[in-house]
Amino acid sequence: MRVAVIGAGSWGTAVSWLLSGKGHEVSLWAREPEIAEGINSERHNPLYLRDIILSDRVVATSDIEQALRAVEAVVMVTPSIGVRSTAESMREHLAANVPVVVLSKGVETGSLMLMTEVLEDVLGNRERIAGLSGPNHAEEVSKGVPSATVVAAYEEQVGRLFQELFMGPSFRVYTNPDVVGVELCGASKNVIAVAAGMSDGLGYGDNTKATLMTRGLAEMARLGRRLGANPLTYMGLAGVGDLIATCTSRHSRNRGLGEHVARGGSVASYEAETKMVAEGAVSCISVDELARREGVELPITHQVRSILHEGGLLSMATEALMGREARDEWHGMGLVEDDQPE
């Protein structure tokens, strides 16, 4: 197939390597002309994953019309904050029936839409849209480290198309019809990973991180339940799988951001230092707002938002979380009789 990969960061580079390795022709769109020029002339991305060599099947461009010309499928890999504006620039150059899968993880600020909902809003034809999410660090996928992921689509044949597109010897792909659950997992787990990084930065131990991860998963599932997600999705690759990888890995931007902030840094200084976006810095606001709208309590998410954006103190956050009233472990999950407010 001829496939457009929209976004030439770490994930876009890894996806281009993966798809071209399967024989697909990849048109890789880079916002920065110098990245496109570097890929075409040197066969590697000059800024992200610089040690990964891309085959001649990958042709980069900073012209989005050229990137989308005659493509049979589109893979969107931009930061979530840029999905809407990028989709708007794609709209007039993309046929209405071309399948689109979004790998960006987040909830749009303001509208509180999931990324597939943003694409539907801009591009129309919801049936051709899918989302992909899982424990997939670009640094490992691009080196052929065995990995697995989930494709969630509104239409089964679209999910199967992207399953076949991505499936390879080192990259196993499952399908899941729960688009809401898969996307919410991807957005929410990044926020919990920031909290896990803060725990690392403060020098707390394994007990603390395990507590944050499991109670974070409970938060994620509570919100998913309210919005109609399948609870089993949270036990799968997009849920607990991605949560483990993002909270524990040295490759995790979100965990790294939390550790950086706990040691005195800020969101701005982290992004300036790494040249990368930690999605949890945005998602902590939009996921918190989504939960407020739905009347669901997310205490960890709320504390991360307070620390990153509202001048909250880590010491106060620890006290607030540890001092919450005693409750049943499955509070708000719908697994036991519980008439307490969520």
Catalytic residues: 189
What is the rounded (10 degree) CA torsion for 243, 252, 248, 50? 130
25-29 vs 100-102, strand pairing mode: unpaired
CA 283, 287, 288 angle in degrees (round to 5)?
115
Distance of CA 323 to the CA centre of its chain: 31
Q: Residue with structure tokens 């499928």? A: 73
Q: Residue with structure tokens 């620890």? A: 318
Q: Which residues of 106-122 are buried (b: 16+ CB within 10 A; e: fewer)?
A: bbbeeebbbbbbbbbeb
Cα(98)–Cα(11) distance, integer angstroms: 21
What are residue 74's phi and psi, to 5 degrees? -130, 135
Per this entry, what is the length of the chain? Answer: 342
